[in-house]
Amino acid sequence: MINLNQKLIKDIKKENEKTFYKKIDKIVHSLIGHKLITFTVIDEKLKFCERVYSNNNKIYPILGQKKMPKNIWSTKVLKNKQHFICKSKQEIKKIFFDYEIIFSLGCGSIINLLILFQGRPIGTVNILNKENHYSDKDLKKIDFLTVFLIPFFIKHQLKMEKKI
């Protein structure tokens, strides 16, 4: 783990966002697997988010801002500042409006890995795979990655502020 951390720190200093995001994508895939992974940055006021990376740009492209939902997800992630996990299609269907698209990709479990900076939510890494694929143990395997995304997410937040 130490060698991986040292390599990521060096990469932060020399690489652009897209290249770095692809490296994080590969690391997540090697540690817990995924069919879909996206990264979203949350604006400072927690009202909007913006997708900044997707491994499937055809189905989940990088888009402009979208309004943050007000549901169980936002309570757990934004208010309580916790990672979020759905282990089944039944759970996903209750929370995510785009569940049909998610299911069409062969996905039925989701991890939303929360990125915090100074105690504030600044983004999520959204990781999807087949039903019942993820557990709380998987969250522990990838939680260390959140700190490496902070500089890139803050940089993007500053761009978002200029748009509003």
Check: CB of residue 131 under 8 Å from CB of residue 108: yes
Range of the domain at 144: 2-163
CA nearest neighbour of 86 among 102, 65, 67, 66: 102
Instruction: Give the helix, strand, coil percentages of the chain, each rounded to 5.
Output: 50, 25, 30
Helices (H) and strands (E) counted in the chain, each on its own, are: 7, 6
Query: Once rounded to an integer, what is the mean pLDDT over residues 38-65?
Result: 91
User: How many of the other CB atoms lie within 10 Å of CB of 110?
Assistant: 25
Provide the number of structural domains found in the chain.
Answer: 1
Is this structure's pTM higher than 0.85? yes
Cα 11 to its chain centre, rounded Å, is 19
pLDDT digits (tens, 9 = 90+) for 75-87: 999 999 999 999 9
pLDDT digits (tens, 9 = 90+) for 128-139: 999 999 999 999
CATH code of residue 44: 3.30.450.40
What band does 144 get if pLDDT is binned at 50, 70 and 90? Answer: very high
pLDDT at 96: 93
Output the 3-class SS for 121-148: EEEEEEEEECCCCCCHHHHHHHHHHHHH
**Can you tell me the distance from the alpha carbon of 143 to that of 81, in angstroms, rounded to the nearest whole number?**
13
Look at residue 80 and give its three-state secondary structure. coil
